[in-house]
Chains A and B, each alone.
Chain A
Amino acid sequence: MSNSLLKLDQVEAYIQKFHILQGVSFDVKRGGVTVLLGRNGAGKTTTLRTIMGLNQVSKGTITYNDENIGNLPTHQIANKGIGYVPEDQGIFSDLTVGENMRVAMKKEDEGTTKRMEWVLELFPDLKKFWKKPGGALSGGQKQMLAIARAYVNENELLLIDEPSKGLAPIIVDKVTESIEQMKEDTTILLVEQNFMMASKIGNQFFIIDDGKTVHEGQMEELKQDKLLMKKYLGIA
Chain B
Amino acid sequence: ACNDSDDASGSSGSSEGSTEGTSEGSSEDAAGEDTQETIKIGVLASLTGALEAYGDQTKKGFELGLDYATDGTMEVAGKKIEVFFEDTETDPTVARQKAIGLLEDQEVDFLVGSSSSGDTLAVTPLAEEYEKIMVVEPAAADSITGSEYNDYIFRTARNSAQDAVAAAASIAGEGVKIATLAPDYSFGHDGVAAFVAAAENLGADIVHEEYADQAATDFTANIQKIIESDPDYLYVVWAGANSPWNQISDMRLQEQGISITTGAPDIAALATMSQLVGMEGFTLYYHTLPDNEVNDWLVKEHAERFDGAVPDLFTPGGMSAAISIVEALKQNDGDADSATLIDIMEGMSFETPKGTMTFRPEDHQALQEMYSITLEESDDVDYPVPVLNRVLTPEETAPPIMNQ
Asked whether any CB of A lies within 8 Å of a CB of B in the complex, the reply is no
A-side residues, CB < 8 A to B, are none
B-side residues, CB < 8 A to A, are none
